[in-house]
A = this chain, B = another copy of it.
């Protein structure tokens, strides 16, 4: 009898003895807690519950594992782009971005702060390319905000003389600051109060 549902077919060979996605999630949290270069393969092996060779066969090497963990961390890049572009105003977009950051940085079941901001804050020249990936993500966020702010200007929601780059940098700066404050133990409530202060100074027509 043929299987009615074309479920996942099993390829030949010994089946993997662990859940790849769960292991990736554990790796993400481990990197998140201790940084990219300062997390060792043996740290990861212990946390993920699998031996080092299993990590390499499933994820490549340490760099690829981190990059994959980074993609899991940031979620779908299109969601971010659409969230900012689709916000009613740049002010709403800024509020959303900061709110999301606060939620991520003060999660109960995850390390405090930003995986990318803290885990890639610095390091050896050998990891410069990985740091550049994190840098690119922050630049991307700022660019999306700039575009949203410019649109507000052309639509008359914001005065035309304000500097979109500065305003976007303010939001980016605040988010990055949240990462450090959260790691220092600041509560979500405190960060929300700071975000409200930033939004209170948001320019108006």
Contact = CB atoms under 8 A, between A and B. Distances in A.
Interface of A: 33-35, 37-39, 43, 113, 117-119, 121-125, 127, 135, 138-139, 163, 165-167, 169-170, 172-181, 183-186, 190-191, 193-194, 197-198, 200-201
A39 B200 CA distance: 42
Copies of this chain, whole number: 2
Interface of A is mostly: helix
Contact of A181 (B37, B172, B197, B201): B172
Given A34-B123, A38-B124, A181 B173 contact: yes
B169 A194 contact: yes
A128 B201 CA distance: 37
A117 to B, nearest CB: 6
Contacts of A38: 37-38, 122-124, 127
B169 A190 contact: yes
B176 A180 contact: yes
A113 to B, nearest CB: 8
